[in-house]
Amino acid sequence: MKKKNNTFVDQALISVEGGGGGSGCAGFHHQKYLKKGTPLGGDGGDGGNVVVVAKQSRNSLHEVSKKHSWKAKNGSAGGLEGMKGARGRDLEVFVPLGTVVYDESGSVVADLVDGEQRFVLARGGRGGRGNLSLSREVGKGAEFAEKGEAGQKRNYLLELKVLADVAIVGFPNSGKSTLLSRISNAKPRIADFPFTTLGPHLGVVEGVEMEFVAVDLPGLIEGAHEGKGMGHDFLKHVERAPVILYLLDVSPDTGRNPIHELEILVNELSMYMPELSERKALVVANKTDLLSADETLSDLEEECEKRELRLFLISALENRGLNELKSELERIVMGERKQRKTIGEEVRIVLPERENDILDIERSGDVFVVTGGFVERLVLKTDLNSPDAVKYLVGKLKKLGVDELLKSHGAKSGDQVSIAGYLFEYHDDEEI
């Protein structure tokens, strides 16, 4: 359940594509001092990459989620006189700190926790070689050039799990947003009805010695870990907070029982993620201004003692007890920061991308289908309208053992061979 004007978005599915490589140029030099006809066509430029970049200034994935497809610029074609084509510009996807990147298999491939941290989502294709470069391999007669490679195409899920030092959790209407607005620079909406806050709000708290970040989350109710209420969607934003602040409304006449609510909150968090029960935590009893002089909180005090949680009595509305609470938070946060950096996601090590280079042949009806990244790339780079380029390709394929392999699979002259979607005719030189 989300209100239409709620612009907080913490998930985005995106399709990304690197720019295509520019084609190489097949050109010849005609200057006086060089022999006429010297190949001098330049290489095509590489295509741009699509890169995700963490930005301090971003708060949500709202902008990113509006655009589904991201394609970087293509590289330019190579030119005459050995001119290399320009590299295609990278396309940058700006996301908030705390954005986790999942690939299609659901593995975490990046966890962007520092400002300006980058991760390449899709590489651009390499530019094709011009006949100047090719002439080093095939000699002066090179009259053809290569086409540029296509850029990588990938799909990712981006998920924001906010980075804060302190997560304020509590039932709806307990005063979480009011507390955040009093101890930090944040200005969340405050109202006397449940579920006012529809997304996490981050606020910077100025301590005596340091600044730290607190996050106010939508209210939790019993069953939140199973998806009840709307708090469930936001439990992930507690995951990385080293300190948890349980906020309880202790005012009388609410028909609510703070001890019971504390129990529910602690349970909901640990059912969502068991590690959360080991986090540093404290309990804050809010709205004490509404307690009459003879009302005490001795039961709650006892309960907190039992749970070994420190209890603070405050009135967020009347600014009571906030300084003491702030300095305790600062003390704990400082201790936690010394111990560990950020509670991050376990990132699967992404090795430099290597397509399957294993040469393989499979028969599909009458056609021999050849697979293997390198061989397929070679075909895709070839201008099949140029007899010279095809001659070069045929020579290369032979050198790579493709002919040999086809023969061992029973291919005969005249049989059809498919590589990277193109059809060729097999020709056995030794066949009579």
Ligand X SMILES: Nc1nc2c(ncn2[C@@H]2O[C@H](COP(=O)(O)OP(=O)(O)OP(=O)(O)O)[C@@H](O)[C@H]2O)c(=O)[nH]1
Query: Which residues make up the interface to ligand X (CB under 6 A)?
Result: 170, 172-178, 190-192, 194-197, 218-219, 286-287, 289-290, 315-317
- Nearest approach, Cβ of residue 180 and ligand X (Å): 8
> Which residues, in sequence order, are bridge partners of residue 215?
167, 202
The site partner of 100 among Mg ion, ligand X, none (C-beta below 5 to 8 Å per kind) is none
Query: In this complex, which beta carbon is closest to ligand X, that of residue 78 or of residue 172?
Result: 172
Query: In this complex, which beta carbon is closest to ligand X, that of residue 202 or of residue 411?
Result: 202
At residue 318's C-alpha, the angle toward residues 312 and 321, to 5°, is 25
Query: In this complex, which beta carbon is closest to ligand X, that of residue 33 or of residue 193?
Result: 193
Judge whether 83 and 133 are in contact, CB under 8 Å. Answer: no
Taken in order 4, 8, 205, 175, the sign of the CA dihedral is positive
Query: In this complex, which beta carbon is closest to ligand X, that of residue 50 or of residue 202?
Result: 202
Q: What is the bridge-based pairing of β-strands 310-313 and 280-286?
A: parallel
Cβ neighbours of residue 286 closer than 8 Å, sequence gap 6 or more = 174, 175, 178, 179, 247, 248, 249, 250, 314, 315, 316
Rounded CA separation 122/155 (Å) = 9
The site partner of 178 among Mg ion, ligand X, none (C-beta below 5 to 8 Å per kind) is ligand X
- Nearest approach, Cβ of residue 59 and ligand X (Å): 17
Cβ neighbours of residue 294 closer than 8 Å, sequence gap 6 or more = none
Query: In this complex, which beta carbon is closest to Mg ion, that of residue 135 or of residue 251?
Result: 251
The site partner of 317 among ligand X, Mg ion, none (C-beta below 5 to 8 Å per kind) is ligand X
- Nearest approach, Cβ of residue 284 and ligand X (Å): 10
- Nearest approach, Cβ of residue 45 and ligand X (Å): 52
The site partner of 175 among Mg ion, ligand X, none (C-beta below 5 to 8 Å per kind) is ligand X
- Nearest approach, Cβ of residue 6 and ligand X (Å): 12
The site partner of 170 among Mg ion, ligand X, none (C-beta below 5 to 8 Å per kind) is ligand X
Query: In this complex, which beta carbon is closest to ligand X, that of residue 136 or of residue 260?
Result: 260
- Nearest approach, Cβ of residue 313 and ligand X (Å): 10
The site partner of 324 among Mg ion, ligand X, none (C-beta below 5 to 8 Å per kind) is none
The site partner of 200 among ligand X, Mg ion, none (C-beta below 5 to 8 Å per kind) is none
The closest of 87, 84, 85, 88 to 73, measured between CA atoms, is 88
Which positions lie near Mg ion, rule CB under 5 A?
176-177, 196-197
Query: In this complex, which beta carbon is closest to ligand X, that of residue 39 or of residue 172?
Result: 172
Rounded CA separation 375/421 (Å) = 12
- Nearest approach, Cβ of residue 231 and ligand X (Å): 8
Rounded CA separation 349/119 (Å) = 12
Cβ neighbours of residue 292 closer than 8 Å, sequence gap 6 or more = 252
Taken in order 377, 382, 385, 389, the sign of the CA dihedral is negative
The closest of 263, 251, 245 to 192, measured between CA atoms, is 251
* Residue 225 phi, psi dihedral angles, 5° rounding: -65, -20
